[in-house]
Structure formats: structure tokens, C-alpha cells
Amino acid sequence: MCLSRSLREVPDSRAGPTLRGKSGAAHPADIRSVAGGNAFIPDSHRVRCGCSSSPTWSESSQCPRPTSNEIQTSVPSREASGGGVSVLLAVPSLLLQLVTMTALSLLLVAVAAASALAESTVYFREQFEDGDAWTSRWVESKHKSDYGKFVLTAGKFYGDAEKDKGLQSSQDARFYALSARFNDFSNQGQPLVIQFTVKHEQSIDCGGGYIKLFPSDLSQEDMHGDSVYNIMFGPDICGPGTKKVHVIFNYKGKNHLINKDIRCKDDEYSHLYTLIVNPDNTYEVKIDNKKVESGNLEDDWDFLPPKKIKDPEAKKPEDWDDREKIPDPDDKKPEDWDKPENIPDPDAKKPDDWDDEMDGEWEPPMVTNPDYKGEWKPREITNPAYKGKWIHPEIDNPEYTADSEIYKYNSIGVIGLDLWQVKSGTIFDNFLITNDPNLAEEVGNDTWGKTKDAEKKMKEGQEEEERKKREEEDKQRRDEAKEEEEEEEEEEKDEEEEEDEEEEEGEEQEEEEEEDDEGTDSKLKDEL
């Protein structure tokens, strides 16, 4: 059975924080006392054991012992008014729960805030999935009248006839100028990711495969090679000497090329190019979703003056000896060292027919002197006064000022293809501009990644068919040549047979004529 109340509750004003349960009703925080072997039973426990009439518990109580969470650590006692009974204020279980819930809530809020800040944003995406509607989104420049034309096609080989459709350059030896606009944005405080695919199915010999990002104030119909851009990124090929990935940033009105050489792909298949620019001034270049280069913008481009310069006031001391070796002052040249490099040939003889009056005085030819030792030089010894190589001391460059926002562009609003191609046929596809590198990788795997193997298989199948066709054509040519040879041999044989027949006929005719002549002679003899 439940025990009757033996301790008086502390008035609400002293009971600690007021909590609210799921019902919303306010109740004072629970307290307990260890006086007299009884303990204050929290409301939650009384409800659980069905003893809501009594807030206390003892060993004789049929009500279950409160749990350790229900009987909380004691706090300093306070005299209750009117009875002099000591009670202890406690840290209530609900208060602990409240603290825990509050901490969890704050954590969830922080996570939600971080998630909101890191929310993926796609600023531009183009996969040419709606046929010729792309012409309403992309603008041809009219700066020149002879720009090359782009056509929508998956090319001669592909992994998917529809998904692999992209913009293909279609005219040789032309400049191309085409662009698309999107909502203006700044990459301040967030990553900037540029991604697209390029396929040089024409086996390109010289031409660009890069894109440019422009500020939103670009006049698309007047876009040309000198139009100011923010970033230029992508492959460029021209002969065996130029096969590189351009990463060019416009910084304070000047275009800066990367100081590293990033080799691009030069085969005929589709390849995925990705540039990631981070707000901590770092970058990463990926080809086919694999990192090929990374680093710091300040280190790999000449955006800023050098941090250190040689001290203009410092000069190498006059007595500084940086000769590690010196001639041995005690070494002397041997007396028999000096010999002429060439000497008269001792075996040469004056020709017997040599005429001094006619030919001049005879001189034997010169030959290399076997005793010649060359110029004498004293041997070298370690320089006792050697101080090492003098290094010019450096000082902080007064013209250097750090810039934590090299990466930042206040306005990005146009993507463009501004390039030159000698041999056309390059296909551009799967354009993506976002602030999420992980999303870009997923998109790359979902587009290029899903069709690349089938594309290669189709290309290899075509090459196999072409190989078989060439073999058949070669065989046909060989067979035709053999037939011609056999016909020629047959003709020669026929000609020889005809000649033989003619020869036989001639011989027979001669024999007949001889017989006729003999008959005539015999007849004449008979007549005589």
C-alpha cells in the first residue's frame, strides 16, 4: 500500500523551475527528502505505480522503489515555514530532461543551419534533352559574320543516342561564339564548380575545347575573343606541343594563366572536365571525376606580387669567398710540359718530282704531336677560406598585400563557347554550374559515367567493322589484281600461240613454195 504524506511539499515559489508536460499543464519541479527513511516520490513515479495519493516511499511500501533518475541528487536544505521540518531541494528529473532536450534542440538547429548554408544550388545545367529548343536558350554572336555553326547531335558514335546529344562544331577553320545566360550570382563564401563534357571525335589536330564564364553584363550578341570573362577552363590542343587544360582567372582586369602544366585527354572519346574553386582560395581540377591537379590560388597563379623580395640594401661582402675549390699554389708546371700541338710528319718524304723552283720550298705535312699534353693547369684543392654560396637575404615585399578573396566574383551570369577550330567535330555536353562538388560528381557519374562504356564499345565496334571492310577491300583488290594478272598471262599465252601458228603457217608456206620451185625446176629440165 502507498504511504501517507510525511513531508510537506515546498511551496511553488521555492520548488525550482516550472516545467510543462505533453498536456501543457504547469507543475513544480520534483523534490525529495531522505529524512526518516522516506523519500519524496516524483509525480511521474506515483502515476507509474498507481499511488498518486502519496508523494513518499519507504521500504514497507508496496509501490516500487523509484529509479535513480526519479530520485535526484540532493540540494541544500531549506526550512519549510511553520513546522521546522528540513527538506532538500533537488535537481529534478524533468529539469535534466529539459537540459538534455534543449541541448539536442540546439544541436539540431545548428545542423539545420549548417545544412541550409551548405544547401546545393544549381545555377546552370544544360543537357540538350528537348531537341531544337536549345536555340532559344543559346545566343549566337553577331560580332563577326563568319562564325562557325553548332549543330545538335550525338556524333558518329555514342553510348546513348539521346542522352549523348550535344553541341557539335560543324565547319572547319572557323571561330565559334555561342553563349547562354542564367540568373546572376556571386560565389562569395561558397565553392564554385564548373563541369562539362568534351568529345573530339574528329581526332582533333588544332582547336579549343574550353568554356568561359562571363559577368552578367556581357552583351551576348557582341561576344568575341576580347570580351572580358571571369574564368576560362577546359582542354586546348594544337599539334603535339600543346595538349593542356587551361585554367585562367581574370583578377583585377588581367587574365592569369596557371603556372602548372595540366595535360588534357587527346583521344576521340567523351571526357568529363571539372573545376572546383573554394572560398579558402584553394582549387581542384578533375578529369573523368579523378583529381589531376590541386593547390592554392596564390601559389599556382601570379595574382599577387611575391611575399618576399631580395633586400636591395644587401650586398655580397667583398671578402666573401664562395670558391669551393682553388688552384694549389704549391703545384708547379713540369719543365718538359710545353710541347707543340702539331709537328712535321717525321715519316714524310719529299716527292721525287718536286721542283723547288716551280713548286716552292717543300715542307712536310703536320701531324698531331703524341707528346702534346695540352694547357697546363694546377691541380685544385679545398679552399680553406670557403664560406659557402652567398645567399641574398630577403625582406617582406612592401608591395605585397594578402587577398583572401582571390576566388570571388561578384557577378557570374553567362557561359560561353568562344574558340577556334581547324578541324570541326567537337561535341560539348552536360554543362553544370553549382556550389556543390559532391553534386557535380554525382551528376558526372549519372551522365558521362553511364554512357562512356557503351560509347567506347560502339566506337570499337565501328573500328572492327572498318577493319573488316578494309580487309575485304584489300582482298578484293588482290583478287582483282590476280585476275588481271591471269588475264594478262592468258593474253600473252594466246599471243604466243598465235605467233607459233603464224610461224608454222609461214614455214608450211615456205615449204610449199620450195616444193613448187622444185617442181618448176624439174619441169624445165624435162622440157629441155
pLDDT tens-digit series, residues 195-222: 999 999 999 999 999 999 999 999 999 9
pLDDT surpasses 90 at 257: yes
Residues 47 and 163 in one domain: no
For 237, list phi and psi in degrees, rounded to 5.
Answer: -130, 135
Q: What does the DSSP 8-state code read for residue 391?
A: -
| Domain count along the chain | 2
**Element containing residue 250 per DSSP (H, E):** strand 242-251
CA 348 remoteness from chain centre:
73
- 232: containing domain: 124-304+406-452
Both 111 and 151 in one domain: the answer is no
Q: Given its phi and psi angles, is residue 410 left (phi above 0), alpha (psi -120 to 50 degrees) or beta?
A: alpha
| Interval 101-110 mean pLDDT | 64
Q: What is the C-alpha to C-alpha distance for residues 61 and 1, in angstroms, rounded to an integer? A: 6
User: How do 366-368 and 342-344 pair as beta strands?
Assistant: antiparallel
Reported as a pLDDT band with limits 50, 70 and 90, residue 266 is: very high
Residue 47 pLDDT class (50, 70, 90 cuts) = very low
Kindly compute the dihedral angle of the four CA atoms of residues 327, 331, 335, 341, in this order, to the nearest 10 degrees: -30
Query: 314 vs 207, 318, 388, CA distance in Å?
Result: 49, 12, 17
- Whether 187 maps to a domain, the answer reads yes
- Tell me what percent of the residues of the chain surpass a pLDDT of 90: 59
Which of 14-28, 273-287, 477-491 has the least mean pLDDT?
14-28
Residue 209 and residue 157 share a domain: yes
The answer on 184 and 280 residing in a single domain is yes
Tens digit of each residue's pLDDT (9 = 90 or more) over 410-427:
999 999 999 999 999 999
Residue 240 located in a structural domain: yes
Q: What is the structure's pLDDT at 498? A: 83
- Residue 95's pLDDT is 60
Whole-number Cα distances in Å, 73 to 34, 138, 397, 401, 497: 11, 72, 64, 59, 131
Q: Do 91 and 153 sit in the same domain of this protein?
A: no
* Residues 469, 474, 479: CA angle, nearest 5 degrees: 125
Mean pLDDT of 223-251: 97
Q: How many CB atoms lie within 10 A of CB 72?
A: 23
- Indicate if 33 and 102 belong to the same structural domain: yes
- Tens digits of per-residue pLDDT, 465-502? 989 989 988 988 998 898 888 888 888 888 888 888 88
310 contacts: CB under 8 Å, gap ≥ 6? 392, 393, 394, 395
Same-domain check for residues 212 and 235: yes
Give kind and range of the element (H or E) at residue 172.
none
Residue-level pLDDT at 428 = 98
CATH of the domain at 136: 2.60.120.200
Helix (H) or strand (E) holding 527, with range, is helix 448-527
Distance of CA 303 to the CA centre of its chain: 21
Q: Which of 95, 115, 135 is the last residue of a domain?
A: 115
Asked if pLDDT for residue 263 goes beyond 70, the answer is: yes
How many helices (H) and strands (E) the chain has is answered by: 6, 28
pLDDT band at 40 (very low <50, low <70, confident <90, very high): very low
Q: How far apart are CA 59 and CA 79, in angstroms?
A: 26
| Banded pLDDT at 50 (limits 50, 70, 90) | very low
- Phi–psi pair at 45, nearest 5 degrees: -75, -40
- The answer to the question of residue 384 being in a domain is no
Shared domain check, 282 and 429: yes
Classify each residue of 163-187 as buried b or exposed e, where b means 16 or more C-beta atoms within 10 Å of its C-beta: bbbbbbbbeeebbbbbbbbbeebeb
Contacts of 138 (CB under 8 A, 6+ apart): 150, 167, 178, 179, 180
**Judgement on whether residues 96 and 21 belong to the same structural domain of the protein:** yes
Q: Does 105 have pLDDT greater than 70?
A: no
Question: How high is the pLDDT of residue 112?
Answer: 52
Apex 368 CA angle, 365 and 370, nearest 5: 130
Question: Do 92 and 130 fall within a single domain?
Answer: no
Say yes or no to pLDDT of 120 above 80: yes
Q: Is a pLDDT exceeding 70 seen at residue 405?
A: yes
Task: Please report the pLDDT score of residue 102 as a whole number.
Answer: 67
Tell me the pairing of strands 150-153 and 192-200: unpaired
**First vs last C-alpha separation in the chain:** 186
Q: Are residues 291 and 231 in the same domain?
A: yes
Q: Which of 115, 146, 175 is the C-terminal boundary of a domain? A: 115
Same-domain pairing of 167 and 267: yes
29 has a pLDDT exceeding 60: no
Return the bridge partners of 32, or none. 88
Assign 509 a pLDDT band (cuts: 50, 70, 90). Answer: confident
Q: Is the pLDDT reported for residue 141 higher than 50?
A: yes
Average model confidence (pLDDT) across the chain: 83
Distance in angstroms (rounded) separating the CA atoms of residues 147 and 173: 10
Q: Is the pLDDT of residue 517 over 60?
A: yes
**pLDDT beyond 60 at 97:** yes
- Percent of the chain residues past pLDDT 70, beyond the cut: 76
Q: In this predicted model, what pLDDT tens digit does every residue of 321-371 receive, in sequence order?
A: 999 999 999 999 998 898 899 999 999 998 988 888 888 888 999 999 998
